[in-house]
Amino acid sequence: MPKVNVFGRKLHLPRSRPLRVTMGLAFVAMGLIGFLPVVGFWMIPVGLVILSVDSPLARRLRRRAEVWLLRRYNRWKKGDVESS
């Protein structure tokens, strides 16, 4: 069963590759209409995480974003971030 690690949490995904790709694309597409009440912009990163299992480009983007966010969080935790 495919799993993906996001910030130390393991998420289980469906075994079927076409189902994972369809789910990922659906999340991204629905996230683009995020102004509606139930769907939201939060669905875009979730869709990219799902797609990152099968797509090297999405995997690279996810890893870069995760490293950037963790570095920024660690700087904020130390108090090194300037307030803007």
Summarised one tens digit per residue, pLDDT across range 19-75 is 999 999 998 999 888 777 778 888 888 888 889 888 898 889 888 988 998 899 998
Q: What pLDDT shows up at residue 71? A: 92
Integer CA distances (angstroms), 84 to 1, 78, 80, 81, in order: 44, 17, 12, 9
pLDDT at 80 over 90: no
Q: Which tokens go with 41?
A: 């912009």
DSSP 3-state assignment of 75? helix
Q: Which tokens go with 45?
A: 């990163």
Q: What pLDDT shows up at residue 82? A: 61
Q: Where are the domains of the chain?
A: 3-75
Q: Is 27 exposed, middle or buried (0-12, 13-18, 19+ CB in 10 A)?
A: buried
DSSP 3-state assignment of 14? coil
Q: What pLDDT shows up at residue 12? A: 85
pLDDT at 84 over 60: no
